Amino acid sequence: MDGATFLGRQARAIRDKGLAPSSVHVPTFHAPMITVDTRIERALHLPVSVEDAWAFLIDVPRWGVLYPHVASFQPLPEAGDIAYEWTMEPLGPPGVRVVVEYACRYHPDPETRTMRWEPIPGTGNAQFGGLCTIGSDGSGGTTGSLRVDAVLGIAAPRLFRAIVRPTVEFEMGRMTDLFVERLVAEAEL
């Protein structure tokens, strides 16, 4: 229980026991929403042909589950050809743990070998977009770049405002690095 919830319950208990007049307003405490936007960019090298890497990249369910802390990953057929809703496991320190939910629509471009994704508005508490572009490394493998843009709304006490942004940026970078490691390992199979 956070401090605001505790104080609100204590104030109501005092009023309900008759220790304060019933006209006393018991405030409802809500943590303010902190909006964090971040961009993560990574280079990648996959030890497979461009054709195999492209087949892997356009198979969103195959690589989607490789991202750390994915609790569920569901298709959204009503949102278009390639659209998915993501729910992450609770993330963050005790007292400020957040379940991140969002949805994306994916747009593969076989000519440029670019997979672009964009947020589907009105779904969850975050918006994710980005792209991954791949090409031949000249020796039978694949090289590429990955960019992830995220906007997250996090309910947290003002006290945490100064640490939320750097913590989110650090965690997003760490999880993206782990995703790239898993992507390389999966591509080798």
Give the pLDDT band of residue 5 (cuts 50, 70, 90).
very low
pLDDT for res 26: 43
Give the mean pLDDT of 131-159.
91
Look at residues 37, 32, 38, 36 and name the one whose alpha carbon lies nearest to residue 155.
32
Q: What's the chain's average pLDDT?
A: 84
Q: What percent of the chain has pLDDT over 90?
A: 58
Confidence at 27, pLDDT banded by 50, 70, 90: very low
Is the pLDDT score of 80 beyond 90?
Answer: no
Supply the pLDDT for residue 17: 56
Q: Residue 30 — very low, low, confident or very high, per pLDDT cuts 50/70/90?
A: low
Strand order in the sheet with 33-46: 33-46, 142-155, 126-136, 114-119, 101-109, 83-88, 70-75
| pTM of the predicted structure, to 2 decimals | 0.77
